[in-house]
């Protein structure tokens, strides 16, 4: 038999999967989909590190002999010749043996004459330790210098390195230069910075404008992110028809996230007439590309018989596909299936395992369920210390159930020292999130 606390924990899944259109908002529209910033420094072995570099702009008919090039580079100190010959030594082409030192020396000489491309190439040598002692700090200085001279590759490299060092203000300037030049990768960066207020004042409207510029050029990722803006009214007015229009374009460009979101639009009747059968087809198309959230959505459809015949066993298959690629909602849903014995034989140990997988990815409902399981001893002997740990993790993400539970714990001194002040704080947080039970606790005890 389930206890009341266990049912309270698991009921969240049923609420999320209800047929009401708003209940399907488990899909992470909006800012949660922003491109994450790198947690570690960017690898510098970028396009051009082996070939391309920043070469001269000679046409084929302008090609000169190696001897002539050497004379122009070494005797006449011609920076274009130095750059071209340096590239030949760097790559070991055109009849010369690869010689990084000779290449670095030539790039340095050309850089002294004001060649921005040579400045970038010498920075690359410093960063990679090719022909000179490796010095990433000095390499960055040269990249920045070349970036300020307008070398596109230098603007990208300098921006990425500065970003990894959390110098967002300087990075933003270089990214914006590239975005204004029409580079799609930079448009994504600049939109993220403007939305999050990194290195510049937050400006959602400007971010949406950049995304629209990329979207109109046919970039699916810009189209999806612009749709998110229209869904939330983030920088543009809320407009579900515009949202659906951009998602539909990206979906037909085979973007799996867009396909899944189109499915949710049909399922919720948002921006388009509600049609659960069509919704399922879009989920299926996205899931076939291995997109975890779409696999979860298919599982929900099978569970409820939405757009497809009800089949609990098939719902579990879908959840497992998502869970096995570390989708937190998929792992949570699979845990619920094992805990409730729905579509699979009931197995509390398996439920615990999948809740843990989901919770470690930061999914608050799974964190709350773990708290319940450890509190009630559903995974062995009760362990209030672990229960409190997981309730606190869920509470930090605003879970009203977790805040309510912690309020009761502090009020009674259960698993934590008795502390009425902390209890009231947790009850207030839960009440602010709409918990009627928390409001009753405040009336009763305060």
CATH number at residue 280: 1.25.40.10
Tell me the per-residue pLDDT of 133-190, one tens digit each, with 9 for 90 and over. Answer: 999 999 999 999 999 999 999 999 999 999 999 999 999 999 999 999 999 999 999 9
Same-domain check for residues 421 and 329: no
Is 286 a residue whose pLDDT tops 60? yes
The reported pLDDT for the residue numbered 265 is 96
Give the global pTM.
Answer: 0.81
66: pLDDT confidence band, cut at 50, 70 and 90?
Answer: confident
Distance from C-alpha of 20 to C-alpha of 360, rounded to nearest angstrom: 29
If one compares 28 and 191, the residue with the highest pLDDT of the two is: 191
The reported pLDDT for the residue numbered 64 is 55
| Cβ burial 70-98 (10 Å sphere, 16+ → b, else e) | eebbeeeebbbbbbbbbbbbbbeeeebee
Is 111 domain-assigned?
A: no
Same-domain check for residues 313 and 343: yes
Distance from C-alpha of 89 to C-alpha of 99, rounded to nearest angstrom: 5
Domains: count for the chain: 2
Please give the C-alpha separations between residue 24 and each of 19, 321, 397, in angstroms, as whole numbers: 8, 20, 20
Is 357 domain-assigned?
A: yes
Distance from C-alpha of 327 to C-alpha of 86, rounded to nearest angstrom: 48
Mean pLDDT for the stretch of residues 420-444? 95
Is 358 a residue whose pLDDT tops 50? yes
Tell me the per-residue pLDDT of 370-384, one tens digit each, with 9 for 90 and over. Answer: 999 999 998 789 999
Is 145 domain-assigned?
A: no
Range of the domain at 411: 398-446
Non-local (6+) Cβ contacts of 246 within 8 A are 215, 223, 224, 226, 227, 230
Is 77 domain-assigned?
A: no
């Amino acid at each position: 038999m389930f206890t009341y606390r266990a049912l309270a924990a698991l009921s969240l899944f049923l609420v999320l999967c209800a047929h009401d259109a708003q209940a399907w908002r488990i899909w992470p529209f909006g800012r949660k989909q922003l491109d994450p910033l790198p947690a570690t420094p960017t690898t510098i072995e970028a396009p051009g590190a082996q070939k391309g570099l920043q070469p001269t702009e000679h046409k084929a008919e302008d090609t000169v002999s190696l001897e002539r090039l050497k004379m122009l580079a070494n005797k006449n100190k011609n920076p274009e010749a130095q750059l071209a010959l340096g590239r030949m030594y760097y790559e070991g082409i055109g009849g010369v043996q690869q010689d990084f030192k000779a290449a670095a020396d030539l790039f340095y000489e050309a850089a002294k004459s004001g060649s921005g491309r040579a400045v970038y190439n010498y920075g690359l040598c410093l960063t990679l330790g090719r022909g000179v002692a490796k010095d990433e700090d000095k390499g960055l200085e040269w990249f920045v210098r070349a970036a300020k001279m307008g070398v596109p590759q230098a603007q990208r490299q300098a921006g990425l390195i500065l970003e990894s060092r959390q110098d967002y203000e300087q990075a933003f300037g270089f990214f914006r230069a590239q975005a204004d030049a029409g580079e799609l990768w930079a448009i994504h960066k600049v939109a993220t910075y403007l939305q999050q207020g990194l290195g510049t004042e937050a400006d959602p409207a400007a971010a949406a404008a950049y995304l629209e510029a990329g979207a109109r050029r046919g970039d699916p990722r810009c189209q999806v992110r612009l749709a998110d803006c229209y869904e939330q009214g983030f920088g543009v007015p809320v407009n579900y028809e515009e949202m659906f229009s951009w998602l539909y374009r990206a979906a037909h460009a085979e973007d799996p996230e867009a396909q899944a979101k189109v499915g949710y639009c049909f399922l919720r009747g948002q921006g388009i007439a509600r049609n659960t059968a069509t919704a399922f087809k879009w989920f299926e198309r996205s899931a076939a590309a291995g997109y975890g959230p779409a696999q979860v959505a298919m599982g929900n459809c099978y569970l409820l018989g939405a757009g497809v015949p009800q089949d609990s066993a098939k719902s579990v298959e879908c959840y497992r596909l998502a869970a096995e690629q570390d989708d937190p909602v998929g792992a949570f849903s699979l845990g619920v299936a094992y805990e409730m014995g729905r579509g699979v034989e009931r197995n509390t140990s398996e439920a615990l395992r999948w809740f843990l997988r989901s919770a470690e990815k930061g999914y608050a409902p799974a964190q709350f369920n773990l708290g319940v399981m450890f509190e009630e001893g559903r995974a062995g002997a009760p362990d209030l210390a672990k229960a409190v740990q997981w309730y606190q993790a869920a509470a930090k993400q605003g879970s009203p159930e977790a805040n309510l539970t912690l309020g009761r714990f502090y009020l009674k001194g259960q698993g934590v020292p008795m502390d009425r002040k902390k209890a009231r704080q947790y009850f207030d947080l839960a009440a602010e999130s709409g918990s009627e039970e928390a409001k009753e606790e405040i009336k009763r005890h305060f």
